[in-house]
Amino acid sequence: MTDEELQKNVEEAMANRPKRHNLEPFRDSSRTRVLRMWLNIIFMLGAITGLIVYFNVDHDVAKWILIVSLVFKFVELFLRIFKI
């Protein structure tokens, strides 16, 4: 196979490849989009706070902060998976 044929095959493959959905803009138009966004923000703030407390203050308190944060994440996950 020559370089020209190889280049032609690569160009054809690139032209015919399927569109990747994960690169499309965020298309979530459900009613829960704003709620999910806030749940994720609460989770992230709780996780950061829990890690700071864990390494600087008290392990037991930090574990409870992280557990509560995970509850928010699981609620968001439930809403996302079941598209409520």
Q: Encoding tokens for residue 24?
A: 């499309």
Place of tokens 């890690």: 51
Q: What is the pLDDT of residues 14-50, one digit of tens each?
A: 776 666 666 555 556 667 888 899 999 999 999 999 9
User: b or e along 2-38 (b: 16 or more beta carbons within 10 Å of the residue's beta carbon)?
Assistant: eeeeeeeeeeeeeeeeeeeeeeeeeeeeeeeeeebee
**41-75 tens-digit pLDDT:** 999 999 999 999 999 998 999 999 999 999 999 99
Rounded CA-CA distance 45/71 in Å is 13
Q: Residue 80: how many CB atoms within 10 A of its CB? A: 16
What are the extents of the domains in the chain? 31-84
